[in-house]
Structure 1
Amino acid sequence: MRAVEEVVEDKADPRPPAPRRTRADLWALLSYGLLAVLVLSRLWRDPSGRVLASNDDDHGFFMFVMAHGERVLFHGDNPLLSDRLNVPDGVNMMANTTVLALSVPFAPITHWLGAGVTLVLLLTLGLAGTATAWYWVLSRHLVTSRFAAWIGGLWCGFCPALVSHANGHVNFVSLFVVPFIVWQVLRLREPGRAVRGGLILGLLIVVQVFINEEILLFTALTLGVFVIAYALMARDRVRHEARALLAGLGVAGLVSVVLLAYPLYFQFTGPGHYQGQPFEPDKYATDFASIFGFARQSLAGNAELTRTMSVSGTEDNVFFGPFGLALVVASAVVLWRRSVAARAATVAAVVLLIVSMGPHLKVFGHNTGLPLPFGLVSHVPIIDLVSVTRFAMVPATIAGVLLALATDRWREFTPRGRRLWQVGLVLALVPLAPKPLPVVDADPLPPFVAEGMWRQYVTSDDRTLVTVPLPEVTTGRAGMRWASLTHLDYRSPRGYFMGPINPPTDITGSWNAPRRFTADLLWRVREYGERPALSESDKARITEDLIFWRAAVVVLVPGSRNEGPLLDTLTAALGEPQSVGGVQLWDMRALQVPPAE
């Protein structure tokens, strides 16, 4: 294929013997696996008893997602809707990050070893698998040197962006389908591949939807920019190949639409659907200075300095470092005159990097007010569901591909040029080497949960166990963790998930369940230590909320912030608690709850 011939060296160049290439493949896979284990090593020591320090909210959410996958496989639950959280409304799993393509196949591990083990395993496999997938595509189709492919896979799988997202984001480290989607799109231009290639591409798209739709959107936009740039630079070639490409894309589109029609319909119109994000598009945007800086989890990173250039510990999405940036730019320069495809890829990387900076340019956290192109499309449907800074994951990946292609050509360099390239690789990659992700110990499960004492109170599946603090986006994490570690055997109100803020009047996306009197009251008590004087009307509203949540028992999480005021408030509202299995609880089974719908 001509596009491939542009970016690889002459295939007549001598290759090492097949056994040697096989050994190189094995060493590459082993190195990626060991590095991924190193990054998650602290969590591996106690997957169910520790949480990732930089992102315990999403850690808890993805444990819930793993537990949902277990219920789908072992209990026949609806894969698109969970009724185990946010009772009575449930959670639209398609409108959240379902990762059903991962959580369901790994459900046996969740069932036997727990959601914590599945989570750390998928994070580890995500990093290693992404690196391996890029290594495979590069080594089989784009470069002749296994070393060059290894460098490319190493960058694509363990660049600062991927390591940063390993802080709980299973969906953003599991990018191993993406290189095969890209390669299948490129191959569609081959004569006679429209049906077979389109079918394969359509199935890959379906799998990616059930891992991460956001990444699929990034991939589609990137390929769109790439094709436009390529067409402008090689008009004759594109005219010759356009018909085959469009035919293959038509087949892929038909296959994916047929298979995804109902899931996407459910996502955008089903129970719990929402529109937009709970923040403005410029809140989470890439800082220009981050292009030159180091991520907090890189060997040369400094957390205090990185905070001025990054929105959070999970969004260090560029951070090439000065030498890394220089080497990526050098790679683009080396390839620029040799390959139209490399030029188009470079253009796509620059365009997506600019898009990731949001509507206004920020430098070291300062909004310069300089308008950027994203401001023109920030409120376009679908685009308004994206966290803008994540567009920077595209140039981070393209950088790895360019680095592999340029390294593959170093035999063409002069002896001095080869030495300089080797030194550049060391200076670029060593400072970016990932450090183990920090973790903290989670509070141990009280016997009430660990020994199943809760079953004495939640005797019916249509009633719930209400944990206080109530599970919300930044509070009540223990409640979601308890539920996930018990395989969601009991149902819970509220939770951390994406849903409408106040349906049906306002379906703007929110990280919390719609507001209720008791939820707001207990949040203020936890945050500020208030001891409110409850009127009879207040107590009646609390009872009304407990009926709405179908409460069987209310449990105060031991060791909670402002535990004393919380205990006093609940006692004033519900009476004296019982002490059972290491917790204080209030038996609510006497509440007259209407029959479940």
Structure 2
Amino acid sequence: MRAVDEVVEQPATPEAETPPVAARWRRADLWAPLSYLAIAVVVMIQLWISPSGRVLSSNKDDHGFFLYVFAHGERVLFHGANPLFDDRMNVPDGVNMMANTTVLAITIPLAPITHFFGPGLSMVLALTLGLFGTATAWYWVLSRHLVTSRVAAWIGGLWCGFAPSLVSHANAHVNFVSQYVTPFIVWQVLRLREPGRAVRGGIILGLLVTLQVFINEETLLFTALALGAFVVAYAAMAPRNAKRDARHFLAGLGVAGVTAGVLLAYPLYFQFTGPGSYHGQPFLPDKYSTDLLSIGAFARQSLAGNAALTRHLSVSGTEDNTFFGPVGLAMIVVSVVVLWRSVAARAAAIAGLVLLVVSMGPALKVFGWNSGIPLPFGLVSKLPIIDLVSVTRFGMVAATISGVLLALATDRIGGWPARRRRWFQVGLVLALVPLAPKPLPVIAADPLPAFLTEGTWRQYVAADRTLVTVPLPEVTTGRGGMRWAALTTLEYKSPRGYFMGPVDPPEDETGSWNAPRRFTSDLLWRVREYGVPAALTDADRAKIRNDLIFWRAGVVVLIPDSRNGDALLTTLRDALGEPRMVGGVEVWDMRSLPVPPEE
């Protein structure tokens, strides 16, 4: 049996690279991907019914952001826009797209779909293919290199692609759902130990790393840390083998580093030093961390999940990063016991445990209660790069490694007596069935007004003007404005937006989910939040006028049925005068305002 210990611990030979003819094509290799595709469609089915008319209710803000991201990809391919920077949102400053999770390796290939059918279809397609592709990629690597049983490989792919962590991130997180490059990165790293593969293997790995950067850098960081922990643990337990393979391994890593470094030098330079770059996150590391009890609980989107209980154990519906269930957790432990003689399997288990502990943040949290017990993450939380990560997401690594261990253990028990094998199989069923994913919940989104669909906006917004929606596009307050801009594939420019950028450059370049504060944005946020019209002075009206000039406003539009819309309307009337009803929306013509010169 080609278990993981044989694959990793024994020197590879050229003959080992060619699988037996019988293993190249089996019926399972067709049915496994089809089953994954069916499950992925079930998870996303409610969004498939109306991709542009519905919004994922557990993550409405990021849904709007990723619609914007797909619209940007369309502009890159069809309008020659800069892939690393966008000047259509947050006018006049723009958005550093490399410093945001803009999944360029997905949005640009799907740009034709976005162009002809809209970003809503591209987004639901990307989420579905992300779940399907992640499961299929792990099935492929497991079945070709680590296990002989197709059932074992199917179970591994099922867990890695549809674990509660992936299903929860399917709530609009296209970047985290799309992990189909990760298994090939892992396998290429393990193959670097083979003699004669330093150049070829290093180049392939460098190309895969480059591709992953344009899907999700956080996943790449997690993968690198997990592999690092695996290598250290393996070397400590099998120093002779590690010493034997070190020269080939390090040479391959060097080639991979050079390859990726050459290809990524400018994009990463732009990300960390270009316009709109930032440092750190707008929250403390202990705000989003893994609760100890979440490890054995059920996620809200699992068949056995209870949303009311899960809310006490998870920061949001998109961050159920562990939630293995009680039997699932027990089966992970059993799998480690089954594989204990394999040094490589033990090293993988250690790597998963290390990242799981890291995901708990600087202090242990139990059912929402901060125990104050210090944890290792507190020692590294302020390191560069680490300070850009939401710490609970390290738990996704433990989830993926658990799927690999389950597959290896399922393969290993194939030689057991029937009775012992049956007990293990029963345990797998009891673990997997309660974790089966439910369709993600959605809500209906307001249709675009005729002002947009009929193109009336064009007479107000010339090439150098913007369309200012109220509420302004902000995190938690401007989903309508972001969605309007995205569904029109960024044909018009908008001020502000929901994205990551510096909070107040150049004085404060800490990361923020909003554009730098201005008088008008703060005022309109308060009105929308509290429902009290602003009592404006002449000085206030002058500040509002100056902000509209700064934003290069051509027209101000009140989004219908906004929260506290009457208070917003009263405030805008006081500031700008009486609106006109045009194409189903109330508008204020701002074309008489001067346009500041472009810098």
Per-residue deviation at 1:571?
0.6
Q: Between Structure 1 and Structure 2, how many residues are aligned?
A: 592
Tell me the residue number matched to 1:425. 428
Tell me the residue number matched to 2:566. 564
Pairing of 1:104-503 with structure 2 (within 5 A)? 104-337=108-341, 339-458=342-461, 460-503=462-505
Contact 1:82 1:92 in 2 (8 A): yes
* Partner Cα separation in structure 2 for residue 452 and residue 128 of structure 1: 38
Letter in 1 for 2:557: V
Letter in 1 for 2:523: L
Contact 1:38 1:436 in 2 (8 A): yes
Tell me the residue number matched to 1:541. 543
* Partner Cα separation in structure 1 for residue 146 and residue 205 of structure 2: 19
Per-residue deviation at 1:506?
0.2
Contact 2:4 2:146 in 1 (8 A): no
Per-residue deviation at 1:450?
1.5
Letter in 1 for 2:459: Q
The secondary structure found in structure 1 opposite 2:526 is helix
Per-residue deviation at 1:530?
1.2
**Percent identity for Structure 1 against Structure 2:** 73
* Partner Cα separation in structure 2 for residue 38 and residue 415 of structure 1: 34
Per-residue deviation at 1:596?
2.2
Per-residue deviation at 1:45?
0.1
Per-residue deviation at 1:3?
6.2
* Partner Cα separation in structure 2 for residue 22 and residue 80 of structure 1: 43
Letter in 1 for 2:597: P
TM-score (norm 2): 0.97
* Partner Cα separation in structure 2 for residue 39 and residue 182 of structure 1: 27
Contact 1:462 1:596 in 2 (8 A): no
* Partner Cα separation in structure 2 for residue 382 and residue 7 of structure 1: 30
Runs of 5+ in structure 2 lacking a partner?
none
* Partner Cα separation in structure 1 for residue 122 and residue 290 of structure 2: 31
The secondary structure found in structure 2 opposite 1:336 is coil
Tell me the residue number matched to 2:530. 528
* Partner Cα separation in structure 2 for residue 249 and residue 542 of structure 1: 55
Contact 1:7 1:342 in 2 (8 A): no
Letter in 2 for 1:551: A
Letter in 2 for 1:358: G
Per-residue deviation at 1:23?
1.2
The secondary structure found in structure 1 opposite 2:287 is coil
* Partner Cα separation in structure 1 for residue 187 and residue 5 of structure 2: 10
Contact 2:4 2:147 in 1 (8 A): no
The secondary structure found in structure 2 opposite 1:370 is strand
Which segments of structure 1 move beyond 2 Å, counting only runs of 4 or more?
1-4, 6-9, 15-22
Tell me the residue number matched to 2:88. 84
Per-residue deviation at 1:22?
2.3
CA deviation map 1:82-110 (0-9, x unaligned): 00100000000000002000000110000
The secondary structure found in structure 1 opposite 2:302 is coil
Letter in 2 for 1:371: P
Letter in 1 for 2:58: S
Contact 2:580 2:586 in 1 (8 A): yes
* Partner Cα separation in structure 2 for residue 52 and residue 71 of structure 1: 24
Letter in 1 for 2:430: L
Contact 1:66 1:115 in 2 (8 A): yes
Matched, 1:100 2:104: yes
The secondary structure found in structure 1 opposite 2:121 is helix
* Partner Cα separation in structure 2 for residue 44 and residue 578 of structure 1: 36
* Partner Cα separation in structure 2 for residue 98 and residue 55 of structure 1: 17
Letter in 1 for 2:105: A
CA deviation map 1:447-488 (0-9, x unaligned): 001211111111x22110000000100001100100000010
* Partner Cα separation in structure 1 for residue 368 and residue 3 of structure 2: 44
Pairing of 1:23-38 with structure 2 (within 5 A)? 23-38=27-42
* Partner Cα separation in structure 2 for residue 19 and residue 134 of structure 1: 16
The secondary structure found in structure 2 opposite 1:419 is helix
Letter in 2 for 1:373: P
* Partner Cα separation in structure 2 for residue 369 and residue 205 of structure 1: 38
Contact 1:8 1:142 in 2 (8 A): no
The secondary structure found in structure 2 opposite 1:404 is helix
Runs of 5+ in structure 1 lacking a partner?
none
Contact 1:40 1:436 in 2 (8 A): yes
* Aligned CA distance change for structure 1 residues 242 and 7 (closer, same or farther; 3 Å): closer
Per-residue deviation at 1:2?
10
* Partner Cα separation in structure 2 for residue 19 and residue 500 of structure 1: 52
Per-residue deviation at 1:16?
10
Per-residue deviation at 1:387?
0.2
Letter in 1 for 2:197: R
Contact 2:473 2:497 in 1 (8 A): yes
Per-residue deviation at 1:533?
1.6
Letter in 2 for 1:74: F
Per-residue deviation at 1:595?
2.5
Contact 1:161 1:393 in 2 (8 A): yes
Contact 1:6 1:340 in 2 (8 A): no
Per-residue deviation at 1:18?
3.2
Tell me the residue number matched to 1:512. 514
CA deviation map 1:337-368 (0-9, x unaligned): 2x110000000000000000000000111100
* Partner Cα separation in structure 2 for residue 294 and residue 16 of structure 1: 40
The secondary structure found in structure 2 opposite 1:125 is helix
The secondary structure found in structure 1 opposite 2:595 is coil
Farther-moved stretch of structure 1 (448-457 vs 584-593): 448-457
Per-residue deviation at 1:8?
11
* Aligned CA distance change for structure 1 residues 589 and 91 (closer, same or farther; 3 Å): same
The secondary structure found in structure 2 opposite 1:585 is strand
Per-residue deviation at 1:306?
0.4
Contact 1:295 1:319 in 2 (8 A): yes
RMSD: 1.6
Contact 2:5 2:343 in 1 (8 A): no
TM-score (norm 1): 0.97
The secondary structure found in structure 1 opposite 2:372 is strand
Pairing of 1:45-56 with structure 2 (within 5 A)? 45-56=49-60
CA deviation map 1:540-589 (0-9, x unaligned): 00000000000000000000011111111101110110100000000000
* Partner Cα separation in structure 2 for residue 258 and residue 2 of structure 1: 36
Contact 2:472 2:496 in 1 (8 A): yes
* Partner Cα separation in structure 2 for residue 275 and residue 118 of structure 1: 31
